Amino acid sequence: MSTPKRFPASLKPTVAAPQRELLMPQRHLHQATRDAARLARPSGTGLDGGAVRQRMVARLRAEGKFDERVLAAMATVPRHEFVDSALAAQAYEDTALPIGHGQTISKPSVVAHMLGLLMGGEGARQRGSLGRVLEIGTGCGYQAAVIALLARQLTSIERLQGLHEKAQLNLQRVPLPRAPRLIWGDGRAGHSASGPFDSIIAAAGGEDIPRAWMDQLAPGGRLVAPTAATGRGQVLVVLDHVVDKGVSHWVRSEHEAVLFVPLKSGVV
């Protein structure tokens, strides 16, 4: 098979997963806002105690397809701390919610799925953790908080200054064993000063995997990102950095169809 032009390094053949329901982790902002408006208003009880959060995790666990270590981390992180107080009662529904700046927080099931894919990498299986992680798109900071419980070190980049500052404030309210390093910068460039990374995850989708991410992915590492796929629109792509007899190559597999916001360069 000829090597796709967008990957300058050699790739093994693509492995396509069966067609599944389109995952819309962020969806259109107006839809998320409409859902928030129609759901029940905050009752003022149960959120801080964690019972509602545990029920969210129990619903995910009942599906039988998510990594238990990821679910345990999600059971610890108070998602309601990362959304506006008016939307707190909806924080533990499996839905996207607006977080300002034209963005939304991803659905809990999509966070669980993408982190489960990362945990399934060979290096993560051997370590029992995600190791050193690069997150592209900090957003409100919720996924960063979950990753921080699964990783040895986390660097998270956000191009929108308003969201970067919001994530800083949100994460200060949540006790974590290791504080993430938050960067206001261009996610397409990665962050070579903190690399190489054992795991890379992106919350925005482009036409290809940026070469900078591949260069910063350590041998044995795994990358998960929404990416355009020929004839399939945007899908979740898993890229493994494999070294065989001293030669690096990248093994790509395609998974569910998704709909994430576009991956953009620069800072705002």
Residue with token string 């238990």: 68
Burial degree of 72 (CB within 10 A; 0-12, 13-18, 19+)? middle
**Cβ 52 vs Cβ 74: under 8 Å:** no
User: What distances in angstroms separate CA 242 from CA 15, 227, 249, one per listed residue?
Assistant: 15, 20, 5
What angle is formed at CA 233 by the lines to CA 134 and CA 242, rounded to 5 degrees?
40
Is 43 catalytic? The answer is no
Q: Determine the 3-state secondary structure of 33 from DSSP.
A: helix
**Cβ 185 vs Cβ 162: under 8 Å:** no
**Cβ 224 vs Cβ 201: under 8 Å:** yes
> Checking DSSP bridges between strand 11-16 and strand 247-257, what pairing results, if any?
parallel
Residue with token string 């939304």: 104
**Marked catalytic residue, from 10, 43, 85, 106:** 106
**Cβ 239 vs Cβ 252: under 8 Å:** yes
Tokens of 219: 């041998």
> Checking DSSP bridges between strand 217-229 and strand 197-202, what pairing results, if any?
parallel
**Packing angle of the helix pair 68-76, 108-119 (nearest 10 deg):** 130
Q: Which residues are catalytic?
A: 106
